Structures are given as C-alpha cells and as structure tokens.
Amino acid sequence: MSSVEEKEIDRLLAQYREIDAPAKVERFTGRRQPLPLRCAVAPPRSYDRTAIESDLHVTLPEDLTILWERTSELRLFEDIRYGQWGLVIWGPAETVRMHPEEIRGWEEDWREGDLLVGRFLGDADRMVVRCNADAPDFGSVLIRMPIDPRKDWPHVGSSLREFLGTHLARGGDKFWEP
C-alpha cells in the first residue's frame, strides 16, 4: 500500500508531466508566458541510497527518496528557447556529482546535513534540502542565494513535497521573491 508521501509525489509528478509543452503551461497557469516554458520528468534510474547517505554524510528524507525512485531529473517550467528560466532538480547521480563541487566557496554557510539537489536556470540560486535527521528542520527546503548569508536564505518549504506543491501552484514563479 502506498504511503501518503508516495501518493502526493505521484500526484505532483503526474501534474508536471501534463504540462510538457508551452501551450499546456499557459493553459495551466492561465496566463501568457513571455518565453516558451515546459516541464519534463525523466525516467528513474536505480541508485544506492545507503552509499549516497554514507558518501555525503546525510539522511535522505522520505519524500526525496520517493522522488528519486520515480525520476532521475525534473526540469520544471524550463525556458526552452534561451535556457534562462526554470528549476532543474537533480537525480541521485547528478546530486552526488554536483554537491561537492557546488559547496566549494560557501563552506562558511554550509551546515551538517545540507544537500544541494538542484539549480535555477539563468542565475546562481541553488536548492538545498536539509538532510540532518537530528536537526529540527530535517527535510525542509532552502534556496541558497549566492550573495546572501545563510540567515537570509529563503525557507521555501517544510518538505520537498510541500515545496513542489507550492512551486506547481504558482506556475514555476519564485514565490519567495518580493
């Protein structure tokens, strides 16, 4: 039997799959887009959860593991003309490759259990999931802002599932920005 998390992640992925072309994005958001946007959900690839947790010193939250069991990459509201807008959420392989590279240069803001899982196209913002099971913010999502200190990074969801739901409902807008 599926958990609530599994059902919710499946529902969100189904909605993202439905808006796979610019006209569908415009119908979904109810507004004309300045650039052609689309969403894409890549097929899943197998991965070793235990190895990732050991190598990166994290505990993966349930919603992230469910997502990775269902997709190897999400490209959400991606500008398919210039590549200057959208969110790419990496799968396990890309996360393992990119995480160490991406944390270089912001060590002073890094906390035990931070895991970079995606990037925003057209800027240097990065998506961070808190993967320290002993921390009160375990599973929450932050946006690493390149010039802001950690205390100013937006908290955009208490879970990845919550973030994805809000991001979808807002049509891919950066809802945390003024």
Q: Report the Cα–Cα distance between both ends of the chain, in Å, rounded.
A: 41
In a domain, 64, yes or no: yes
In a domain, 19, yes or no: yes
Rounded CA-CA distance 139/160 in Å is 7
pLDDT > 60? residue 90: yes
Give per-residue pLDDT as tens, 13-33.
Answer: 999 999 999 999 999 999 999
117-132 pLDDT per residue, tens: 999 999 999 999 999 9
In a domain, 35, yes or no: yes
pTM of the model: 0.95
Residue 104 lies in a domain: yes
Residue 127 sits in a domain whose CATH number is 3.40.1580.10
pLDDT at 2: 62
pLDDT tens profile 26-61: 999 999 999 999 999 999 999 999 999 999 999 999
Tell me how far CA of residue 146 lies from CA of 16, 82, 124, 149, in angstroms.
Answer: 28, 22, 6, 8
Q: Is residue 43 part of a domain?
A: yes
- Rounded mean pLDDT of the chain? 95
Does residue 46 form part of some domain?
yes
For residue 126, give the 3-state DSSP assignment.
strand
Domain membership of residue 174 (yes or no) is: no
Assess if residue 82 is contained within a domain. yes
Whether residue 143 is predicted with pLDDT greater than 70 in this model: the reply is: yes
Please give the structure tokens belonging to residue 1.
């039997």
Domain hosting 146: range is 4-169
Q: What angle do CA 25, 143, 172 make, to 5 degrees?
A: 5
Tally of domains in the chain? 1
CA distance 67 to 99: 18
**What tokens appear for 155 in the block?**
């908290």
